[in-house]
């Protein structure tokens, strides 16, 4: 009998493969137009002078660059996660991409000179999700710990529609998202 850890590992492998195959078949125009502006239910969560924690998309993840540019133009402050020495995420204000440096697992993250902030909204990457707003991340638990640290902060997932699973297995520390946005729909 496989353990929950084994099930999650298999789901991650399958949905990374699906995501990669989906993105590989997209032309660059379609990919660049996806996630360019926030749909109305998501836009209502973003207010000028708020701090929104975003991730810097890499590989086949749902792209964040255009959405970040748009929100910055509307007066929203953008923070990115930085992995601390104790394995937690801290969020640091970033005023431009030049302030990101190669960090944990070669993921761009803010330098230590960027100010620490508490986010008003957290936009998180994911590998797979289900209709119950359960999220399967990369497996390190970084965002799960941040969600627990900021339990009242809205948690939003960005994903491609092909990342939807029938059911994501969860553990007691796994907190659901409040909303998932794909290129096709919003799930609340």
Under the banding of pLDDT at 50, 70 and 90, the label for residue 2 is: low
Total structural domains within the chain: 1
Containing structural domain, residue 182:
4-187
CATH number at residue 76: 3.40.50.10420
> Is 32 or 85 the better-scoring residue by pLDDT?
85
Question: What count of other Cβ atoms lies within 10 Å of the Cβ of residue 63?
Answer: 21
Residues 6+ positions from 132 with CB-CB distance below 8 Å: 167, 168, 176
* pLDDT 10s digits, 129-175: 999 999 999 888 889 999 999 999 999 999 999 999 999 998 888 89
């Amino acid at each position: 009998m496989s353990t929950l850890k084994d099930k999650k590992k298999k789901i991650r492998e399958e949905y990374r493969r699906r995501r990669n195959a989906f993105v590989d078949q997209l032309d660059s125009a379609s990919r660049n137009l996806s996630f360019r502006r926030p749909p109305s239910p998501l836009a209502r969560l973003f207010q000028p002078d708020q701090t929104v924690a975003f991730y810097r998309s890499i590989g086949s993840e749902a792209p964040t660059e255009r959405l970040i540019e748009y929100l910055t133009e509307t007066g929203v402050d953008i923070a990115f996660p930085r992995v601390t020495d104790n394995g937690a995420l801290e969020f640091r204000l970033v005023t431009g991409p030049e302030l990101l440096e190669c960090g944990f697992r070669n993921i761009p993250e803010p330098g230590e000179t960027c100010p620490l902030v508490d986010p008003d909204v957290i936009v998180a990457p994911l590998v797979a999700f289900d209709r119950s707003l359960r999220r399967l991340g990369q497996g390190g638990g970084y965002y799960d710990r941040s969600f627990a640290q900021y339990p009242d902060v809205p948690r939003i997932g960005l994903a491609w529609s092909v990342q939807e699973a029938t059911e994501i297995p969860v553990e007691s520390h796994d907190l659901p998202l409040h909303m998932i946005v794909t290129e096709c729909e919003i799930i609340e």
